[in-house]
Amino acid sequence: MAKPSRPAPKPSLRLLDPFKGVTSSTPPIWLMRQAGRYLPEYREVRAKAGGFLDLCYNPALAAEVTLQPIRRYGFDAAILFADILLVPDALGQGLRFAEGEGPLLDPITSASDLSRLQPSATRPKYALVAETVARLRQDLPKETALIGFCGAPWTVATYMVEGRGSKDHAAARFWAYRDREGFQKLIDILVETSIDYLGQQVKAGADVLQIFDTWAGVLPDDELDRWVVEPTKRIVEGIKASYPDVPIIGFPRGAGAAALWYVSETGVDGLGCDTTMPPYMMGETFQDEPVVVQGNLDPLLLVVGGDAMDERVDEILELMDGKRFIFNLGHGIVPQTPPENVARLVERVRGS
């Protein structure tokens, strides 16, 4: 069978260097949530778009807000502007963003609710996201990589089951304990549709993929294996079957010591490290694994800026000098971040 097509890889992407084993004392840099509310130009486009979902499904505007932080800071990568919850939305669960309340979904709480999800109906919405990717492929500077993404099945499921963001993700954890088979069916639907969704992003021009597992850290080890490691491994295998050379970064936030197990079992090419990962582990323990590490400045230090930020940045740079490393935060930029602190960070990392 012919391999699915994708645009020819760009020759000069610094983000890809560490994946090829090419290292430097000036690592590539991008930041999680680098597009968003801390930028006045984002708030302007967001207001013009209407709702948040209208922005995500408008390829011209979604591409525009993806480009904004690249124009300002010249990051080595852009991340597609979308959201992990577009997947349950495309499956037909019904998603809305109420002002000041975050995401709201009609909860799916048992196996019998799964009939509400329609994997075969996702095409039109996934196609809009792929169109954003295709536009970005045209409009990004040739040295800027494009990162496509999805939420990992576990993290997406926590929102689908709870119907909203929560602190303890108890609804999903209860279902997973009480009805393993039923919950597995939900995870299976998410694995399959995520492979399809990420594959469409690569086909449209994404250079690298990231799988966000923001709530991996609430699970005990055996549950983490079942609901985080196994599904991620299946997604990685599914993508690699068609696109073996597209690097995949996993971000199992809060996994702690289990991150080593996650890396060796899932086959991810990159590990997104959260703020709690000690840099010496990033610089030593993981360098014995065939994996690039990414992280992990505390986003709150980016709000504070100044010497406090510089000191920690220097510490990370020193420990990671010459290692397979991508500079990033340990979690997403927060809305109160002063844009000038981001400029200062990029200068510091680039040594300019």
- Helical ranges in the chain per DSSP H: 40-49, 52-56, 59-73, 86-90, 123-139, 153-162, 170-178, 180-204, 221-224, 230-242, 258-266, 279-283, 299-304, 306-320, 339-350
Q: Is 103 one of the binding residues for ligand 1CP (CB under 6 A)?
A: yes
d(CA 217, CA 177): 16
Q: Is 212 one of the binding residues for ligand 1CP (CB under 6 A)?
A: yes
Q: Is 214 one of the binding residues for ligand 1CP (CB under 6 A)?
A: yes
Instruction: Give the Cα-Cα-Cα angle 31, 82, 234 (nearest 5 degrees).
Output: 85
Q: Is 85 one of the binding residues for ligand 1CP (CB under 6 A)?
A: yes
d(CA 297, CA 136): 27
* Nearest-approach distance from CB 145 to ligand 1CP, in angstroms: 14
Q: Which of 6, 14, 46, 135 is catalytic?
A: 46
Q: Is 37 one of the binding residues for ligand 1CP (CB under 6 A)?
A: yes
User: Which CB sits closer to ligand 1CP, 15 or 323?
Assistant: 15
Task: Please confirm, yes or no, whether 33 is among the known catalytic residues.
Answer: yes
Q: Which of 17, 76, 83, 269 is catalytic?
A: 83
Task: Please confirm, yes or no, whether 46 is among the known catalytic residues.
Answer: yes
Q: Is 34 one of the binding residues for ligand 1CP (CB under 6 A)?
A: yes
Residue 326 CA to chain centroid, in angstroms? 14
* Nearest-approach distance from CB 345 to ligand 1CP, in angstroms: 15
Task: Please confirm, yes or no, whether 159 is among the known catalytic residues.
Answer: yes
User: Which CB sits closer to ligand 1CP, 29 or 323?
Assistant: 29
How many other C-beta atoms are found inside a 10 Å radius of the C-beta of residue 312? Answer: 17
Point out which span in 33-41, 131-139, 198-206, 319-327 binds ligand 1CP (CB under 6 A). 33-41
Tokens of 78: 């852009």
Answer for the pair 254, 219: CB distance below 8 angstroms, yes or no: no
Q: Which amino acid is at 122?
A: T
* Nearest-approach distance from CB 31 to ligand 1CP, in angstroms: 8
Q: Is 46 one of the binding residues for ligand 1CP (CB under 6 A)?
A: yes
Tokens of 228: 């985080």
- Residues at the contact surface with ligand 1CP, assessed by CB under 6 A: 32-37, 46, 52, 79, 81-85, 102-103, 149, 165, 212, 214, 332
